[in-house]
Structure 1
């Protein structure tokens, strides 16, 4: 394993929206934003961390890191004018008569979002990409190990810009109660466009969700009653794999042919492949149950649907289950059968299912403990999406060389999907597995064949 880069923090700023400079008599205090069951459920999860690696322009071409940072801060402040709540903090309102414990987003009571400039003076782009070790990117993010509830005292978003010898990494750590991947990348794209002085109509939008109480009273009197911090997470191997558009097309065609249908998506085919190969690498007993969890946005599953611009975290985990025998040991049940289990799980997660979940959670509110997300020894959990337009965020540096994530929410079986840099449906797959399982996976013939 390559040694982690030495990263030195040089400067820190807090950035507020440009319109915060208005005179107080012209300023209208924004109302509190109340959180939904989808969001409150994840108060124990870590901040979400995603970032982009760029080649640093040549100084002989007029590039100045000082000027670049100044422009980034200016454009970030301007972007926050349309995404004002990201500059806020979480807050809790308690009262004893009647009993009430409400967690909400206070858009106004905060010094702003955090902006960090750091350096890794002896590290090159090749140094962190060539070893294929994702842990090398962990020092390029701020707020490592923070949980979402910490948004009461920590910024909801922190951006760390790390200057390498020949590269620049822009890493964002965003409170996962406030934003899912769709929301985060919408903000990042808007910031990049503002930085380039392009027009953008993106903004922070919330609309009521049918079936959700506007204000949710949690059954607690103190946050110690539900907070969980994982002190010693398992030491997993983190690797990044590329799947070309042609290999994914073949996987999709194979899955649909084996199912005798044309409904299996590329994402479902790839997820089925990972489910099968990782299960085989773990070598569980034939009668053991395996689980594949998919993070699924509810925006278009609800009726009426939420707009694409909805800013929040309206996400559920949808699961497919199978015995080891059915998943990898029955000769007539291959990739297509596994993909069909996931297809059916997603298909059944419709408006009725989502609203039943909302109703059930609201009757008995609870905060998920992350130790329970990976409680099943034969689980994989797939998050993020290859559909996020990450490479649209250029910030005047050209197309990013790579996308990577930080150390948050990592455990054995966690998978993060990215769009492939080559586009055309290619994907990047970030895998976290215990060392012995990663070794088995890297020699798995089905997995190797899918990367050709």
Structure 2
């Protein structure tokens, strides 16, 4: 249900043009099936209005919607699974889930947010993200299993008083964020070329649609009725803040951790430090303090990690599907996490990442195959933190023909206390934006954390 401030003007179905290859089914892998009980991905970009002149002219949001729809139809020719639906087939041992690539279509919604401006969407550094943003995403409560009857991709183009918000709602059983942003940027490239005086030929690699599994066999689930695995809990009451880290502050944070590790004699850990490790360490420690965990309460830092380059042989960046796992540091008592320092926590994240090799990935797949399960929001440790999304996603390269986005935002999907989604920084140059979700009381406590505000703004 949309907010009273947002009204829908029109909805149109977009199908691949020209039509895709003959109808086929793409079986889901263990990584895909594990997503069936989670929400659709909800990410969006905020744009200033298209400047004149444009050819053809984008004189109104209706023109923008038409421009986006035409380019999307062309993008779906290569990414035709996005225009399909999920289908479950019975097997003697249970069932299997596939993408029915029948070209059923995606949807574009044109909406208007009366009286809402860009300033109402972009929160100042010391304020929560405004809740009006959640109204810019359709299918707010849908879970990925609903892709059996709902479109796998829905776009809402919301007209603001001085800009446009383009919200993407995307079935996570289709693929992970890497493949999603490859698809969106391919779409944007087509749209941008159509407004250029001389359309450029794309050099983008086509998606690899063949799914990976260790033995190439489809996943058969030992359940006759998958709906019994699907949970639809009420979303928690959370506050959301977008923390900005400049390239300079991340460099200072990394140097702080490096010096701590060198002082402790961990030269290998100091040499291997990355910006991701130190940012994860900072948020893990600060959230732990804000929660006032009991000294002997154990906590972990979990990380959503891309498997493509870690498999042997590696999967190409164009692999279209899910290829992620959630890994974890070793558990540590809250008091020890805070006493051991920033360097130790950063190195702990580094050890967890380094241990995630081809061997461990294949062992995880084998373990899941022997006992299939789906992720639920209860799967995540309530005393730990979870680092998701990635500053490597090319969000601000996504130009539909009238310039890069002003900001990036998300909806209500798959959010839990202690989760952080990392985005490329809006000002570029190696900066990072961290969208942090906490309960109201934990967010209030975080306001007084000196270590966080030494590096974040």
Question: Which residue of 2 is the match for residue 69 of structure 1?
Answer: 65
Decide whether aligned partners of structure 1 residues 440 and 396 sit closer, same or farther in structure 2, where only a CA change above 3 A counts: same
Q: Structure 2 CA distance, aligned partners of 1:68 and 1:224?
A: 38
* Preserved CA contact (<8 Å) 1:186 1:202: no
1:49 aligns with 2:42: yes
Aligned partner of 1:408 in structure 2 is 413
DSSP-derived class of the 2:396 partner:
helix
Q: Select which of 311, 335, 348 maps to 1:325.
A: 335
The residue that corresponds to 1:449 in the other structure is 454
**TM-score, length of structure 2 as denominator length:** 0.91
SS in 1 for 2:293: coil
Structure 1 residues 134 and 243: CA distance shift in structure 2, 3 A: farther
Q: Could you say what secondary structure the match of 2:374 adopts?
A: coil
TM-score, scaled relative to structure 1: 0.92
Per the alignment, residue 229 of structure 1 pairs with 232
Q: Considering only aligned residues, what root-mean-square deviation do their CA atoms show, in Å? A: 1.8
Contact conserved, 2:297 with 2:333, CA < 8 A, in 1? yes
Deviations 1:17-46 (A, max 9, x none): 1012xxxxxx74242111111111111010
CA displacement 1:56-91 (0-9 Å, x = unmatched): 135798641232221111111011111011000110
Does 1:103 pair with 2:97? yes
Partner of 2:105: 112
Q: Distance in 2 between matches of 1:68 and 1:268?
A: 40
1:150 equivalent in structure 2: 146
Q: Determine helix, strand or coil for the equivalent of 1:115.
A: strand
- Alignment gaps of 5+ in structure 2: 194-199, 263-269
2:114 equivalent in structure 1:
121
Q: 1:140 aligns with which of 136, 140, 149?
A: 136
CA offset digits 1:302-352 (Å, max 9, x no partner): 111100100111110011132112211x2xx21110001000001001001
Equivalent residues of 2:211, 2:320 under 8 A apart: no
> How far apart, in 2, do the equivalents of 1:385 and 1:279 lie?
22
1:84-107 C-alpha deviation (Å, 9 max, x unpaired): 110001100014xx3340111111
Q: Deviations over 1:345-382 (max 9, x none)?
A: 01001001000011111112122232222xx3312111
Write the distance in 1 (CA, Å) between the matches of 2:235 and 2:66.
Answer: 37
Aligned residues of 1:82 and 1:202 also touching (Cα < 8 A): no
Q: Is the 8 A contact 2:93 2:221 kept in 1?
A: no
Q: Which residue of 2 aligns with 1:347?
A: 354
- Structure 1 position 283 matched with structure 2 position 292: yes
Q: Distance in 1 between matches of 2:275 and 2:292?
A: 26
Quote the residue 1:246 is aligned against: 248
CA contact (8 A) 1:134 1:239 kept: no
**Corresponding residue for residue 220 of structure 2:** 217
Q: What is the aligned partner in structure 1 of residue 196 from structure 2?
A: none
Contact 1:236 1:433 (C-alpha < 8 Å) held by counterparts? yes
Q: Which residue of 2 aligns with 1:13?
A: 12
Contact kept, 8 Å, 1:89 with 1:156, in 2: the verdict is yes
Counting matched residue pairs gives 435
